[in-house]
Amino acid sequence: MKGVPEALRNLRGETAYIDDLPEPRDLLHAAVQLSEGARGKILSIDPSRALALDPAVRVVTAHDVPGENQIGSAVPDEPLLPEGEWEYWGQPLVLCLAPTRQLAREAARLVTIVSETLRPVLDPREAAGQDAFVMPSRTQSMGNPGAAFAAAAFTAEGRVESGGQEHLYLETQGAYAERRDGDRVFVISSTQGTTIVQRAIARVLGLPQSGVEVEARRLGGGFGGKEDQATPWACLAALGAWVSGKPVKLYLDRATDMRATGKRHPYSTDFRIAADKDGRITAFEADYYQNSGSSCDLSPAIMSRTLFHAAGAYRIPNLRVTGRMCRTNLPSFTAFRGFGAPQGYFVIEAALDAISNRMGFDPVELRRRNLLSEGDVTHYGMPLKEVRAIEAFDRVLEKTGWKALRADIEAFNASHPLEKRGAAIIPNCFGVSFTKLPMNRGGALVHVHADGSVLVSTGAVEMGQQVSRKIARIAAKSLGVPLELIRVERTSSLTVANTVPTAASTGCDINGAAARVACLEIRDRLLAHAATLRASGPGLLSLEEGRLLEGSADTSMTWKQLVTSADESRVDLSAHGYWSTPGLFYDMKTERGSPFAYHVYGAALVEVRLDCLCGRVKVERATIVHDAGTSIDPVVDLCQVEGAFAQGLGWALLEELRFGADGRPMSDNLSTYKVPDVHFLPARLDIEFLSETGSPASVLNSKAIGEPPLIYGIAGYFALLEAIRAARGDRIESWDLPLVPEKVLGLLAGTGRVLGQKDLQ
């Protein structure tokens, strides 16, 4: 199967991202000065040196905000530009406008800000000790964990650390803004959510939302990093355009982007786990300390997903999990593919690792024994349907010849003193829907033109996940026309309003479903029209691949003829579609309900090879069995699994977000923050989709694909841990992700982590 048509333009170098758009002659470039210090107070701002650079330079501060100087979506704790205190190292303090980018950057550098530094808090546990939370803590529970621990044959406990992760979308954050007609603005934003940006700009400029037009073209990657975090840049560009009356472009260089924007939340977690003598998990408790960073952002929703995924793919009858969202002086941690679930997953997998060690039980067998099955009820009270955890796990065992592979690895390890292999298998059970219920809706606007061509606009933003290709397929299938007739347009507040961000893997589910609603409505109008033409019942007529059928017989009437005829007969060939995911409910008081439309299942094996001398690691292979439902586009889904796995593996073994003891960003460019390259990923990556059975509650029985496969990367962590154990000849425990070479060598040499984050300058 071929690639998607948008890819043609990408490969030809024709796709225009924000910084590639033609620039109007009077364009002003914008640049920001970032705070140098993790916490401080602005005493005065003197723009004179910047203004002296060039008469065209303009310095914009908080005082220039005509509306409310606030962009926090959940909690009003994010001023667009701070007036008093700033909260993290790298926070934008002032905006400068100038005719060239170079001049704007120079001006931003020259604004003199007199400030006072304040003592930052960086550690989430320290923040918790001071009751510094972005939102009150939250607990979910089931059964009676206390009694279960008391009665348990085996218990284990431990602490788990997982690090942050930089999105590293290849296109950095940016926005272009124009003031139009004096009283409205037009903004092109590299955002995953046009409405989020629209709402924030309206608030900042004191405009009605209808006066703010926002469009998102293709994004050069998002991964959650442009869900809430695109907002400040769009607002700053709009503010610049508003006060200057000229078009303004704000496009961040990589270092500014990496310093100023949010990343995946680091977590520090305490757990305990209990099992009976047969290796059945009887109880689990966890206290998650989420490092939420400087503002609330999406932290509560992310914690919500952590709690929902606390038990992973396992049946645990007694459970208590508590999430604390700790305010610190680091960049506001935010959405990143997986959205809190990977952090929860890593903890439960560490707990299973711990209890298998305590019992002397094979970790793979222990995991298998505790997998969810049909009819199990989650700790939040949701009965599970069409559960495929065991099926996927067993398929991985079968595909990899697990028993023989394990024996082979053991034999290899016994005969290679300086090299060890290790493998681990991780199951997956990932709930799909926004955990914030009101967000589970999609919108679409479909125009069928008189020539038969079809234009589909939805709330879904295209950022490389190829959602537009899937929506085109849904539209083609729903209308009964060839795919070539469908064009999916950019996302714009003019075509679809009140959208939700393209996130939570739901982009296709909800917007595809909305497009289908609109397409079916138009199709029905056309069939009714055809029925009058042919004096037939509409129920007898159908459209297939651009032909009108009566029963199963071709009527010789084409789609185009039908559309032209309908247009002349004044049939409305446009429709708005709206979708609200059915069956969702949740009671926050009792923490019970059915928050997900369905779950995605799967399992993965990762095998690594370890150089015991130097601590070098090579991921040798991965085998993934994944449940994509009835895939709308198997090629797109395959590539999504591959990409998500790569990011998960990067998070587990490579990508290390570092801050100094003073909160200084230390991994703020590509030479200090390493993401997977082509050598890092295994050449042997075998992905298989589970057979298309059942009927998931989503559009055309498909299943969401964006986030769930990221979980498989965690298998890389445990595979490496097994190799390290083989080298050491013991079952050392260390759950401190990412497991980078420095930690590996420390474990191999028996010293553990040589130096912690805090010891850095």
Partner 1 sequence: MKAAQSCTVFLLNGDSICTTAWPGTPLIDFLREEKGLTGTKEGCREGDCGACAVLVGEQVDIEGTLGSTARYRAHPSCLMRIGELENQHLITIEGLRQAAESSGLEEGLTPVMRALFDENASQCGFCSPGFVISLSAWLLEGSPLTPEAAVRAVEGNLCRCTGYSAIRRAAAILAREFSDLPADPVDRIRTLSAAGVIPISALRFATAALPRAPFTGTDTDKSVLQSISTGTDTKKWTFQPLSTGTVTEKLLQPLVLGGGTDLSVRQPHPEPGPAVFFTRLDRGLATISEKDGSVSIGAAVTIRDFFGSPLVRRSVPGIEAFEEGFASILIRNRATIAGNIVNASPVADMTSILLALDSTILVADASGTDTGRSMPLSSFFRGYKSIALEAGQIVTTLSFEALGSHERFHFAKLSKRERLDIAAVNSGIRIALEAGGRMVLSASISAGGVAAVPRLLPKASATLAGAPLSVETALAAAYAASAEIEPIGDVRGSAGYRRLALERLILSHFVSLFPELGEGIGAALEAQVGSR
- DSSP class of 391: H
> Of the listed pieces 59-67, 213-221, 236-244, 519-527, which binds partner 1 according to CB under 8 A?
213-221
**Which of residues 218, 324, 473, 529 is near partner 1 by CB under 8 A?**
218
What mask, x for binding partner 1 by CB under 8 A, covers residues 378 to 407? ------------------------------
- DSSP class of 24: P
Based on the shown chain and the rule CB under 8 A, indicate whether residue 760 belongs to the binding site for partner 1: yes
Q: Do you know the residue count of the chain?
A: 761
Task: Please identify which of the residues 126, 707, 733, 742 carries the catalytic annotation.
Answer: 707
Based on the shown chain and the rule CB under 8 A, indicate whether residue 465 belongs to the binding site for partner 1: yes
**3-class SS shares of the chain: helix, strand, coil, % to 5:** 35, 25, 40
- Alpha carbon of 496 to those of 69, 332, 429: distances in Å? 27, 29, 32
> Of the listed pieces 8-16, 47-55, 241-249, 491-499, which binds partner 1 according to CB under 8 A?
8-16
Based on the shown chain and the rule CB under 8 A, indicate whether residue 477 belongs to the binding site for partner 1: no
Based on the shown chain and the rule CB under 8 A, indicate whether residue 661 belongs to the binding site for partner 1: no
Peptide bond preceding 738 in cis form (omega within 30 of 0): yes
Number of residues that bind partner 1 (CB under 8 A): 93
Based on the shown chain and the rule CB under 8 A, indicate whether residue 515 belongs to the binding site for partner 1: no
Kindly state the tokens that stand for 351: 């707990």
Please answer whether residues 248 and 186 qualify as being in contact, where contact means their C-beta atoms are separated by less than 8 angstroms.
no
**Which of residues 70, 675, 692, 701 is near partner 1 by CB under 8 A?**
675
707 in catalytic set = yes
- Alpha carbon of 456 to those of 148, 280, 517: distances in Å? 54, 51, 12
**Which of residues 398, 545, 587, 677 is near partner 1 by CB under 8 A?**
677
What mask, x for binding partner 1 by CB under 8 A, covers residues 551 to 580? ------------------------------
Q: Label residues 491-509 b or e (16+ Cβ within 10 Å = b).
A: bbbebbbebbbbbbbbbbb
β-bridge partners, 85: 41
Site for partner 1 in 43-82 (CB under 8 A): none
Based on the shown chain and the rule CB under 8 A, indicate whether residue 484 belongs to the binding site for partner 1: no
> Of the listed pieces 12-20, 75-83, 293-301, 436-444, which binds partner 1 according to CB under 8 A?
12-20
Based on the shown chain and the rule CB under 8 A, indicate whether residue 722 belongs to the binding site for partner 1: no
**Which of residues 28, 80, 108, 168 is near partner 1 by CB under 8 A?**
168
- Alpha carbon of 524 to those of 19, 153, 531, 564, 598: distances in Å? 43, 63, 10, 15, 29
Q: Which is nearer to partner 1, 363 or 665 (CB)?
A: 665
3-state secondary structure of 577: strand
- Alpha carbon of 703 to those of 392, 607, 629, 631: distances in Å? 15, 27, 5, 7
Q: Say which residues have a Cβ less than 8 Å from residue 390's Cβ, sequence separation at least 6.
A: 368, 371, 373
**Which of residues 69, 466, 702, 734 is near partner 1 by CB under 8 A?**
466
Kindly state the tokens that stand for 61: 């501060």
Q: Say which residues have a Cβ less than 8 Å from residue 511's Cβ, sequence separation at least 6.
A: 442, 443, 444, 458, 459, 460, 467, 471, 502, 579
Task: Give the position of tokens 């042997």.
Answer: 684
Based on the shown chain and the rule CB under 8 A, indicate whether residue 171 belongs to the binding site for partner 1: yes
Site for partner 1 in 724-743 (CB under 8 A): 727-730, 740-742
What are the backbone dihedrals phi and psi of residue 597, each rounded to the nearest 5 degrees, phi first?
-70, -35
Based on the shown chain and the rule CB under 8 A, indicate whether residue 25 belongs to the binding site for partner 1: no
> Of the listed pieces 381-389, 402-410, 670-678, 699-707, which binds partner 1 according to CB under 8 A?
670-678
Please answer whether residues 320 and 311 qualify as being in contact, where contact means their C-beta atoms are separated by less than 8 angstroms.
no
**Which of residues 25, 63, 589, 679 is near partner 1 by CB under 8 A?**
679
3-state secondary structure of 402: helix
β-bridge partners, 159: 270
**Which of residues 269, 291, 647, 698 is near partner 1 by CB under 8 A?**
647
Please answer whether residues 184 and 207 qualify as being in contact, where contact means their C-beta atoms are separated by less than 8 angstroms.
yes
> Of the listed pieces 73-81, 272-280, 432-440, 462-470, which binds partner 1 according to CB under 8 A?
462-470
Closest contact distance (angstroms) between CB of 651 and partner 1 is: 12
Q: Which is nearer to partner 1, 216 or 566 (CB)?
A: 216
Q: Which is nearer to partner 1, 19 or 550 (CB)?
A: 19
Based on the shown chain and the rule CB under 8 A, indicate whether residue 414 belongs to the binding site for partner 1: no
**Which of residues 266, 546, 676, 706 is near partner 1 by CB under 8 A?**
676
Q: Which is nearer to partner 1, 19 or 276 (CB)?
A: 19
Which helix or strand (DSSP H or E) is residue 754 part of? none
Dump strand ranges (E) for 277-359. Answer: 281-293, 318-327
Site for partner 1 in 99-118 (CB under 8 A): 102, 105
Q: Which is nearer to partner 1, 180 or 758 (CB)?
A: 758
C-alpha–C-alpha distance, residues 727 and 748, integer Å: 7
**Which of residues 625, 669, 693, 718 is near partner 1 by CB under 8 A?**
669
Closest contact distance (angstroms) between CB of 606 and partner 1 is: 13
Closest contact distance (angstroms) between CB of 357 and partner 1 is: 17
Q: Which is nearer to partner 1, 145 or 464 (CB)?
A: 464
**Which of residues 177, 384, 646, 715 is near partner 1 by CB under 8 A?**
646
Q: Kindly list the catalytic residues.
A: 707
